Structures are given as C-alpha cells and as structure tokens.
Chains A and B, each alone.
Chain A
Amino acid sequence: MLKVEETQPVEFSSALLAKFDEIVKRYPEGKQKSALLPLLHLVQAEFGWTSVPAMDKVAEYLNIQPIEVYEVASFYTMYFLQPKGKYVLEVCRTGPCCLVGAEKIMDHIEKKLGVKEGEVTEDGLFSWRGVECLAACGFGPVLQIGPEYTFYENLTEQSVDQLIDDLRKK
C-alpha cells in the first residue's frame, strides 16, 4: 500500500542524477520510461525505500505521470512502499528451500530479532520477511540483503546468529 501521508520532501543528489542520465541513454529516443525499474532501484538504494515524494520526482525526471510510477512500484515486490530496517533479511520461503528447513530459519529470525515479519526492530536496524523463490534452490535455505542483494546460502541457526551479530557490529 502507498504511504501517502509520508510527505517529507526528498532531494536527488547530482551523483544520483548522473546515474539516472547514464541509464536513460540505454533506450531509444522517447522510450525513457524503460528506465523506471532501474531508477527505482537506485532510489531505494539511496533512501532505503521508495516514498511518494521520491516517486513523484522520478516521474518528473522521466516526464511521465506519478501514477505510472506508483503502479509499477506497487506491482513489483522489491520496492518498499514503507520504511524498513537498515538491513532487510529476505528469506526464501518457496518449496525447495522449505524442503531443507527455510521455515525453521524464519522462526529463528523472528525470535532472534524479536519482531514479526515486516516490522522494524526498535533500533531501526533490522526487518525481515519471507519472499518467493530466489533462484538458489540448490543452496537453501537462503536469504538476501539489499541494496547489494548479497546472498547467504546453506543457512543454519548458527550462521544466521553470526550474520545478525556481524551486521549489528557494523
């Protein structure tokens, strides 16, 4: 769902806009809307989520209507329409990973972080959620952490503990 009340204005840095310019060049004249998905990834990497004011700015940059951005951001699962923790642990919850213990890993993460799926820990550091197949079925259970989307494979309760502790120390 769109969180429209969140109206904190955002500014795009010149470095970010330079990246936008590079991406738009990939498409033919007049087809700049093709840059929408990559641009939203860049916005999310910068701000941690895609807020309405940020999406409005993307629309303005691409010379398209804001609704064209909202409908895309809300269709694809990778764009966060609400603020999340600094690290979002996304655990694969689909068939093959469940055969090798993904559900137990999710239960463990919930206990370890003390928050339910989708919520943010008090220190603002962590969120977690189950996601659908991450195409790493032979190395399950797996989780990924954006915005780099680093993969952690063959998870055990111990390796998850270690990962969370390491991230806390960062």
Chain B
Amino acid sequence: MARKLLLEHINVPGINTLAVYREKGGYRAVEKALKTLTPEEIVEEVKKSGLRGRGGAGFPTGMKWSFLAKPEGVPRYLVCNGDESEPGTFKDRYLMTHIPHALIEGMIVSSFALGANTSYIYVRGEMMPQIRILERAIEEAKAAGWLGKNILGTGYDLELYVQPGGGAYICGEETALLESLEGKRGNPRIKPPFPAIAGLYGCPTVVNNVESIAAVVPIINDGGDEYAKIGIGRSTGTKLISASGNLVKPGVYEIELGLPVEEFIYSDEYCGGIANGKRLKATVAGGSSVPVLPANLTLKYANGDPRLMSYESLSEGGFATGTMMGSGGFIAFDEDQCMVRNTWNFARFYHHESCGQCSPCREGTGWMEKILHKLEHGHGTSADIDLLWDVQRKIEGNTICPLGDAAAWPVASAIRHFRDEFEWHVKEPMKSQSTNYGLANYANPIEKVVVAEEK
C-alpha cells in the first residue's frame, strides 16, 4: 500500500470533528510550529520538502512563500484557493468535505509562517455545503483556542474566514481570485506586480491551493526532508488525483508521485480499469486544460518507456507527445467517446468562462466553439480544421492570464493526435451523426525502442 499523508484517516468516523481529528494526531503541526519553530524555519522546511503548488501550475510553494514582501507596518495575507473549477478536478471538495480540519491546521501553520493575522479561504460559491462544513470547523477550532487571539499563549493572533465565490472558473486564477475577494468582477490583473508584492487590498499576499496548504501539515510534522523522500525526482510527496470518466472506480486517490500511469488506471488499488469492459481510447491527465493524449502515449513515452504520474514524466516529450500534471484531474475516455464532441464541449466551457478582458481569448474561444460545433454536427470542411488550428495558435501566449492557453491546448492536442477523427467528421458527415469513429489506432502498443549496439 502506498503511503498516505492527507487521506490517511479519511475513513475514520467523525474525522470531520475536532475531537476525532485531534485523537488522530491533528493540530500537532500547529503546536510544533508555533511553540518550537520560527516563521523562517517553517518556510525553510517547506522549501526542503520540494512541495509544488497543487492547483495546477506546480510552482514550488516554499519559493513562492520566500518571495513575500515584508514592509514594516503593512498587513500580509494568506488566501487559500478553494475555487476548484477545472473540469476533471474534485479533490479539494473531497478534502474540505471529509477532513476540514486538515485545511484549517495547514492555514494556521502557513499563516504563522507568512506573518498573516487575517487569512481567507476562498471557496467556489457552488460549494455551499463545504463552506458550511469549514465554518463549523473554524468555530470548533476557535472555541478550542487554535484560532483567535494569543493562540496557545504564544502571542500569535489569527482570524480565519471563508469567502464564497459566485460561480466563475476564472477566479481560480490567483489575481482574479483576489479581485473577486475584493468584491469585484474576476478579471485577472496584469503582472507584475505579483501578489507577493501587491495582492489583496494592495498588500503582500500569498495564494495557495487547498491541497498545498493541507500538505504543509505532514511537512511540519515529519520534516521537509522526510516529505522529500517520497516521490520521484523533483516531484516530491503525495498528490491527490481526481479520477473521472469511463473508469470502474472513479474517485479521489492519494498517490505517491512516480506511480506508473498504467498501474493507476488498471490496478484494483486505484481506478480498476475501464468501465463496462471497454478499452481506453484517450486520457486528459491533469484537468481539461492540459493536452489530451491517445491511450498509447498515456501509458508510454514515444520511445516505449513507461510513463509515470509525476510532473516531469507526464510532460515528457513536450506537447508533441506529452501532457502535464496540472491539477491532477485524470479523465479517461473509452472507445465509444468522440474526440470532436469532447473538444467542442471543452471549447464551449472556455468560451463560457473567458472573462472577456483580452480579445484573443474572448473572441478566439467563441470562434473555436463555433467551428467545433460545425464539425461535430456534420457541417464542417477540412478548411475548418486548419482554421481551428490557426485560431488556437493565436490565442496561446497572447492573453493576460493562462485561461487563453488553457483553452488553446485541448484544441491543439486534439487536432495533433486525433486529426484523422476530425477529418472523418468532414468526410462522413452523416455517418458521424449516428456512429462514432471508435478506437482507431489510438491504443496500438508503442514498442520499446532498442538501440542497436555499435560494433
């Protein structure tokens, strides 16, 4: 069995309450941090752990913390990003629902490390039940002296609040989130300045994902070095993977980074294979924004070596033959799924969610949706496929925030790997309305390349 750091006690009845969470060793990290460590030492531990942001970008958390400006007399803020809206990702909801105190404990330690006396957990508005769970947990923690004034008699004060969003994917982008928290439309800000210099209310701010904050707890309990021993290369620790789509056992799994993708999909410990005895056609490994890969490239690199669940291994081969870890939203497509239809669905999503500030994204996502709608519904031409390629290329890199890239990549990768299926929709417009293209050659095994020895 793999080691579990975040979900170890997920099945313990009452783990959502302070009493049971304490029994299982909860809030030890707060005691250790506030009583025996300085803020600088905590930042150092997080740096040593190699923890990378779990929200999608994978930026080292300790480094992000060390960038925080500390001008005299100016408040600093920690804001937790619980806006979880990336299609395919539902790990933060799971964590907040079942072990709310893990997030709150992480927030206390992290706020102390950053010198924040007021911190906010921004949770997407649709998660009202989770917001209530967190608020109840905060009340419990406060009543027990883990929050509020002079925590554990150390002189450290912290108030923690939960802020609901209003239903906008863009607010997962950290500067849009800050705008939203200030009561405005979620339009991402131009950077620099980065939030570490000028964030919430113009003050130095760190924004971290729910899972990143929760991971600080085991890092402080066991030490950064211990955490760094788990995983592979620069992908240290454990990661929550949200598995969805045509799988026998979809759900949230905590994996040690470095697990072979094949094992994750097919072993009974994880997803248990493809549902209904079908075959795997394609996957999106890290949430809808990352490139889609055909089954064969999901399981192996182009050279035939096995692909692993880690930041480096998933992106091996670049965009030509690889993808990204993203937020760990693993979506599996079986042989009956239509890649054109799915790409259209994602394009519609990004069009709907574009904030409208930058024209390449505002207009481009709409164009992509329309062209894909045409293709999917049997009215497309082969020139449309080229136009689609052209439009996505002109969005990528030309917007204030990464939503533009996130909208372009699924379209680009779908054309790159499944062009024959797009062309089939053009050539067989009637047939494509009643049947699917099927598995084609997307699952054909990739043979391991054996380089002949020189004589």
Contact B342 A95 (CB under 8 A): yes
Is B127 located at the chain interface by the 8 A CB criterion? Answer: yes
Those of B232-275 within 8 Å (CB) of chain A: 242-246, 250-252
Closest B residue to A150 by CB, please name it.
B129
A76:B168 contact, CB within 8 angstroms:
yes
* B185 with A75: CB separation less than 8 A: yes
Residue of B nearest to A36 (CB): B183
Cα A35 to Cα B162 in complex, Å, equals 11
Q: Is the CB of B342 within 8 A of A98?
A: yes
Closest B residue to A154 by beta carbon equals: B250
- Interface status of B318 (Cβ within 8 A of chain A): no
B129 engages A26 (CB within 8 Å): no
Complex Cα spacing A151 to B169, Å: 19
- The answer on a CB contact under 8 Å between B331 and A38 is no
- Whether the pair B129, A151 counts as a contact (CB closer than 8 A) is yes
Q: Which of A79-106 contact B (CB under 8 A)?
A: 79, 93-96, 98-100
User: What total of chain B residues lie within 8 Å of the partner, measured CB to CB?
Assistant: 58
**A96→B245 contact, CB < 8 A:** yes
Report how far A79 CA is from B159 CA in the complex, Å.
28
Contacts of A135 in B (CB 8 A): 84-85, 89-90, 92-93, 124, 126-127
Q: How far is the CA of A134 from the CA of B337 in the complex (A)?
A: 21
Report chain A residues within 8 Å CB of B169.
Answer: 132-133
- Tell me which residues across on chain B come within 8 A of A2, comparing CB atoms: none
Q: Are B164 and A137 in contact (CB under 8 A)?
A: no
How far apart are the CA atoms of A71 and B166 in the complex, in Å?
12
Residues of A within 8 A of B164 (CB): 37-38, 41
Residues of A within 8 A of B93 (CB): 135-136
State whether the Cβ of A167 lies closer than 8 Å to any Cβ in chain B: no
Contact with B along A8-42 (1 / 0, CB 8 A): 00000000000000000010100101111110110
With an 8 A cutoff between CB atoms, is A122 at the interface?
A: no
The residue of chain B having its C-beta at the shortest distance from the C-beta of A79 within the complex is B166
Segment at the interface with A among B45-53, B346-354, B379-387: B346-354
- A138 interface hit (Cβ, 8 Å): yes
Q: Which residue of B124, B166, B201 is within 8 Å of A72 (Cβ)?
A: B166
Q: Does A78 contact B (CB under 8 A)?
A: yes
Partner of A94, one of B87, B118, B129: B87
| Cα-based distance from A18 to B208 in the complex (angstroms) | 32
B85, B127, B128: most-surrounded residue (chain A CB, <10 A): B128
Output the least CB separation between B423 and chain A (Å).
22
Cα–Cα, bound, A26→B84 (Å): 23
Q: Which residues of chain A have C-beta atoms less than 8 A from B183's C-beta?
A: 33-37, 62, 64, 68, 72
Segment 142-180 of B: residues with Cβ below 8 Å from A? 159, 161, 163-169, 180
A47 sits at the interface (CB 8 A): no
Q: Which residues of B contact A93 (CB under 8 A)?
A: 345
- B242 contact from A72, A100, A138, Cβ within 8 A: A138
A93 and B87 alpha carbons, distance in the complex (Å): 10
| A133-B251 contact given A34-B183, A100-B245, CB 8 Å threshold | no
Q: Which parts of B303-323 form the interface with A (CB within 8 Å)?
A: none
**Across the interface, do A96 and B182 meet the contact criterion of CB distance under 8 Å?**
no
Assembly CA distance A31 to B179 (angstroms): 12
Query: Is there an interface contact between B245 and A28, defined as CB atoms closer than 8 Å?
Result: no
The residue among B125, B126, B159, B346 with the most chain A CB atoms within 10 A of its own CB is B126
- Is there a chain B Cβ closer than 8 Å to A48's Cβ? no
- Cα distance A34–B200 when bound, in Å? 10
Residues of B within 8 A of A78 (CB): 125-126, 166-167
Contact present for B244 and A34 (CB under 8 Å): no
Bound together, the chains give a CA A147 to CA B167 distance in angstroms of 13
Shortest distance from the beta carbon of A21 to any chain B beta carbon, whole Å? 15
CB < 8 Å neighbour of B182 from A31, A41, A99: A31
26 sampled A-B residue pairs with Cβ under 8 A: A26-B161, A28-B75, A28-B201, A37-B164, A37-B165, A37-B183, A40-B166, A62-B183, A75-B166, A75-B355, A76-B165, A79-B167, A95-B88, A96-B87, A96-B245, A96-B331, A98-B342, A99-B342, A133-B87, A135-B85, A137-B90, A138-B243, A140-B244, A148-B129, A149-B128, A151-B129
The 9 closest A-B pairs by CB, nearest first: A76-B166, A137-B244, A36-B183, A78-B167, A33-B183, A138-B250, A149-B128, A77-B167, A96-B244
New A-B pairs, 5, CB < 8 Å, besides A37-B165, A93-B345, A132-B352: A26-B120, A28-B118, A37-B180, A95-B349, A135-B85
